[in-house]
Structure 1
Amino acid sequence: MQVILMYFITHVGLIFFMYPTDIIESASRTHWVPIFIGMVFHLVFIWIYMKGLSYFPGKNIIDIYMEKGKGLSLIFLIPIIGYFFLANITTVRAYSEIINIVFLSETPLWATMIPFLFIATYIAAKGINVIFHTAFIVACVFLPLFLFIFILSFQNVDWRYFFPLFDIDYSFISNRSYYKSFFSFAGVFLFLGFIQPYHTYDRKKVFLSAILLLPFFLFSVYVPILTFGQATSATFQFPFVTALDSVYISWLVFDRITMFFLISLLIFIMIFLSLLLWMVCSILVHFVPIVKHSYVLYFLSILIFIICVMLPDWKVVENLFWWNTYFRFYVILVIPFSVLIFGVRSKRKVR
């Protein structure tokens, strides 16, 4: 259950900020097509990944690659380190900017990043079991609130904006914003290969939780479009947040439900960050066992903070998202297939 909740809330935390922007920028109509294609990719490759891992019960992805030799393991794992590192930088910087835009407009960006990164580092330092226990508590407290506000976001929608349904334009395939949107798919699923010595999970339930994410991917894009229309939605930096800000509930005590929605998502993102930090440290410590896990973690956190502070503006953050696309598709394509191939070969050797 903890694995399912971790998978679900970390994906939810990634969906509602940058994903709608990228999809709306990449397609001018029939947005369900790029969303559906991305979701199919996600489901296919997570199935391949879990199928490959099933051949190695009790082993994590590091052990699987190390069995093939240190040289080969470096070839496979170094790009993962690069992906995790860039994902940490972009996530900390991007979500700190979101906090400043919505809550703390007068606060320096570095002052927002310090507690955001500190909390994630503290949770990661306590180990994977604490990360999962924290995720379970967070899900129990904030997931009902998130779902309630998500339903309220439909207040101002005009369903006529959903049409035409089949006037399909495939120009999004050549748009770089579409490939940036895969961050919401590739950001999380690798953790399933890191936790097998510590946690077990039912592959069918994980796959089902992945399918249950489809409405959130779909309506994170369509709620702003159904509220404002495509042309207006394309002008917003965070379309879903803007659409949610237009919701007014007379019987609700609080004026801005956006605040509670964002708090829920940002807490989910802290869990995601702690998971990323723990995974990248696990790889590094495996190659340099003489260094303590905590020292590597603190060094990485300080380095991430310094780099985040040095980034001059949002444009550079967007460029980092794009540069990380190469690592992202490596993670989506190469890692699942390689684990499956190694798994099939190991099964044949046993026979």
Structure 2
Amino acid sequence: MNKAQILTLFVLLHLASIFAIFPERIISATSKGHWIPITILFLAELLVLWLYLKALSQFPGRTVVDICKDSLGNWGTRLIVLPLLIFLYIELFLLMYFQAGEIKAVLLQRTPPAATGALFIVICFYAVWKGLNVIIRASIGLCILLMPFIFFSMLISIQNFRISYIFPIWDSEMTFFSNSDFYVCTVISAGFLFLGMIPSKQRISFGKAAAAVGVIFVFALGSVYVPLLVFGQETVVHLQYPMLMASDTIDLEWVVFDWLPSFYVVASSALGVLKVSVLLWILVFILQQLFMPKINRLWILSLACVSLYLISLWIPDMNALNSYLYLNSYFCVYSVLGFPIIVFLAAQWQRKKVGT
């Protein structure tokens, strides 16, 4: 793998969350000045990303697990990664349920959710079994194949924009800080966690990572403001798939583009497979490194996939999904904010011990 491939995967993992849940959560979190919470989320990610990469650059060839084990010991490391494991597990079956629901709503209305979920988890199982190197290389192909459809589906909706829907553009009260949906949106930052699980001596620089975050920020703004400028706040707040609905408002004469919502669902589902595969790989990696070192990796992966599939079948409806999302937001905030800070502090402590 090279730095370009890692950066591509970094971008695609963020986009997977953005097109899955980000627009409706931001729109639910605030009714005005939507760019403000988006900007705050990305500024917070830049800060913790700098701390994360700084810690990794001080110990080339070592993972965050190695850094924490050297500083905190095995039990200390197990304690700090436990909330991360809970976040990964809940996020995995929520993503599976959401993607299966989106596919059923647009492409496979008559297919049972159990069959759609089974196909989804089998693809992810195969990807994780082949390893992270294969997933990273596959991300290049997915980027070339999928990004044109996503980009086009966002741009084509411009003809239906009503600029007046952008106002008011300032939220002086910033009430979104007290809204649970704002903290659910922190899941988009989970896209950088895999950087600390790769034992590579060639780390990407913060400058390149920050540039990638800038590109992701533009897509995040577009995912919120495209449906907002098409439908308005009063309408879009009630939509379950705002970006999908925005692309479906365009009536094109070309037959291939008349299927644009289907292309969008295929593209977003492929990104979902990519993110589930990477998060599942991280889950298996941590479990084998810290909790099940003597158990074969394939058995850990099989057990995780079967349990995730069964739990995803027990989610009765979208209301239950929302309750799990709010519960997982606590673990998510820790994983994307608290965990990188702990890794940074552990790296500084270990560096001081080595220096003395």
Q: TM-score category by the smaller chain?
A: over 0.9
Equivalent residue for 1:301? 305
1:1-351 matched pairs, under 5 angstroms: 1-67=4-70, 68-185=72-189, 187-197=190-200, 200-251=203-254, 253-286=256-289, 287-351=291-355
Cα offsets for 1:27-64 (capped at 9, x unmatched): 11111111111121111111121112211211011111
TM-score (norm 2): 0.94
Query: Structure 2: how far apart are the matches of 1:87 and 1:37?
Result: 22
Query: Structure 1: how far apart are the matches of 2:100 and 2:185?
Result: 19
Deviation at 1:295, TM superposition (A): 0.8
Deviation at 1:123, TM superposition (A): 0.5
Secondary structure at the counterpart of residue 290 of structure 1 = coil
Q: Rate the CA distance shift 1:113–1:83 in 2: closer, same or farther, 3 A.
A: same
The Cα RMSD (Å) is 1.6
Query: Structure 2: how far apart are the matches of 1:169 and 1:234?
Result: 20
Deviation at 1:164, TM superposition (A): 2.6
Deviation at 1:198, TM superposition (A): 8.1
Query: Structure 2: how far apart are the matches of 1:253 and 1:346?
Result: 57
Query: Structure 2: how far apart are the matches of 1:6 and 1:27?
Result: 30
Deviation at 1:105, TM superposition (A): 1.7
Deviation at 1:80, TM superposition (A): 1.3
Structure 2: unaligned runs, 5 residues or longer:
none
Query: Structure 2: how far apart are the matches of 1:38 and 1:262?
Result: 26
Deviation at 1:251, TM superposition (A): 4.2
Deviation at 1:258, TM superposition (A): 1.3
**Structure with the larger helix share:** 2
Query: Structure 2: how far apart are the matches of 1:167 and 1:126?
Result: 47
Percent identity (aligned): 29
TM-score (norm 1): 0.95
Secondary structure at the counterpart of residue 246 of structure 1 = coil
Q: Rate the CA distance shift 1:350–1:174 in 2: closer, same or farther, 3 A.
A: same
Query: Structure 1: how far apart are the matches of 2:13 and 2:274?
Result: 7
Letter in structure 1 aligned against 2:215: L
Q: Rate the CA distance shift 1:199–1:290 in 2: closer, same or farther, 3 A.
A: farther
Stretch of structure 1 that moved more, 256-265 or 160-169: 160-169
Query: Structure 1: how far apart are the matches of 2:345 and 2:40?
Result: 24
Query: Structure 1: how far apart are the matches of 2:252 and 2:240?
Result: 24
Query: Given that residues 157 and 230 in structure 2 are in contact (C-alpha distance below 8 angstroms), is that contact kept between their aligned partners in structure 1?
Result: no
Cα offsets for 1:54-113 (capped at 9, x unmatched): 112110111112212111011111111111111111110111111111111221111110
Secondary structure at the counterpart of residue 158 of structure 2 = coil
Query: Structure 1: how far apart are the matches of 2:216 and 2:73?
Result: 37
Secondary structure at the counterpart of residue 159 of structure 2 = coil
Letter in structure 2 aligned against 1:49: Y
